A = this chain, B = another copy of it.
Amino acid sequence: MSLLVVGTVALDTIETPFGKAERTIGGSATHFALAASFFKNDIRLVSVVGEDFPQAGFDSFAAKKIDVEGVQVKKGEKSFFWAGKYHRDMNTRDTLDTQLNVLADFNPILPENYKNSDYLMLGNLMPKLQMQVLNQMNKRPKLVMIDTMNFWMDSMMDDLLDVLKHVDVLTINDEEARQLSNEYSIVKAAKKILTMGPKYLVIKKGENGALLFHKNEVFYAPALPLEDVFDPTGAGDSFAGGFIGYLSSTDDISFANMKRAVIYGSTIASFCVEKFGIERVNELNHEELNKRIQQFVNLVQFDISLED
């Protein structure tokens, strides 16, 4: 199916205990698109970059047949830039620098042929911009998924609550779920959030996996225990891209298929963290993916027959 992804395309300088990558290609929409391109989809990308964005980035998109007509290139301006340093536990990081640059007055404009996209992934952007994208669609997509963060909850909660009314799947982490719902218990938080608009809620717990909530159903996919996490940047976005990419390619939004989508998303995320930036997902092949999906099955499967 056609899948529209909207978000940042950026340059990241990342320092981990294992090394440093300078101005590597990153951004939420980059990770969404590359992860989703692993499945058969007609992927369209909406974002903005500056003149400094390297050709190699566009080459990566072209290699995966990702439509970049919706990526604005601002002459004489610079791309969104983020620099961060991870600590040994890889769960905490310090932001060393954030330069919004072209993102400061990003005005997402959808090319005409994007407006009928079947699936829509709205990356973590200002809620008003997310709403602006939704309003440009000619038809309501079959599924709208949205990512957001605590920053918007702190500063623009009303706008966020507004856009949430129009989406199907929300993906946030556990702390954000607590903040959004004002409930400490994750189960209570999920129940409350499912009354705010989204019919599905994915709570990302990093190395502790992800939970999918829908009505009274819940699915918990642990993360694959990894020997080394080289760079966690983009893991959550790779998860989201793999999730919606799988749903879109199968065009099946049943709960059973969403569970599979969680597994595919988690698996692609487990590759993302093995190298800096987009490097590992870019070189990933189907054989490697299937092998790791099988590891996932082995990791969680058990066989119990109930008796008195």
Please give the residue numbers on chain A whose beta carbons come within 8 Å of chain B beta carbons, in ascending order. 88-89, 184-188, 190, 205, 208-209, 211, 217-222, 225-229, 256, 259-260, 262-263, 286, 290, 293-294, 297-300, 302-304, 306, 308
Contact = CB atoms under 8 A, between A and B. Distances in A.
A308 B286 contact: yes
Nearest to A290: B306
B184 A302 contact: no
A225 B211 contact: yes
Contacts of A262: 302
How many copies the complex holds: the figure is: 2
Contacts of A286: 308
Given A89-B184, A184-B88, A209-B222, A302 B260 contact: yes
A201 to B, nearest CB: 12
B219 A225 contact: no
Contacts of A217: 298
Nearest to A186: B225
Nearest to A89: B184
Nearest to A188: B227
B222 A220 contact: yes
A242 to B, nearest CB: 13
A303 B185 contact: no
Contact of A304 (B211, B229, B263, B308): B263
Given A187-B225, A205-B208, A208-B209, 19 more contacts: A89-B184, A185-B228, A187-B226, A187-B227, A188-B227, A188-B228, A190-B225, A218-B225, A219-B299, A219-B302, A220-B300, A222-B222, A256-B302, A256-B303, A259-B302, A260-B304, A286-B308, A294-B306, A297-B304
Contacts of A303: 256, 259-260
Contacts of A211: 225
* In the complex, the 5 A-B pairs of residues with the closest C-beta atoms, listed nearest first: A208-B208, A259-B302, A220-B222, A187-B227, A290-B306
B225 A300 contact: no
Contacts of A221: 300, 302
